[in-house]
Amino acid sequence: MNRRLAVLILSIGSVVGFGYALGGLGGYLLGKGDMRYVAGGLTGGFAAALGALRLWKDYLAELAEEISDREDPPEV
């Protein structure tokens, strides 16, 4: 359960990071753009997304292993 919560938090963090990047780009439409927001948002968004994907992949592998252990018939 804790791993799923971490994936959720990282996923939300990636959306926030990409939002900052879009906000930085949108600032250029108003003439007040800042490349630091764009770079920081993209870096943070991609880092959080990659972390969430890695955790989710590990979680699914662990879950598949538990299911396969349960489905094996008991040895007599």
pLDDT, one tens digit per residue, over 42-76 is 999 999 999 999 999 999 999 888 888 776 666 66
Q: What is the mean pLDDT of residues 11-29?
A: 94
Domains held by the chain: number: 1
Asked if 41 contacts 18 with a C-beta cutoff of 8 angstroms, the reply is yes
Q: Is residue 69 part of a domain?
A: no
Q: Cα(30)–Cα(59) distance, rounded to whole angstroms?
A: 44
- Of 68, 20, 72, the closest CA to residue 46 belongs to 20
Q: Is residue 72 part of a domain?
A: no
Percent of the chain with pLDDT over 70: 91
pTM score of the predicted model:
0.80
Domain around 55: 2-64
Residue 52 inside a domain? The answer is yes
In a domain, residue 73? The reply is no
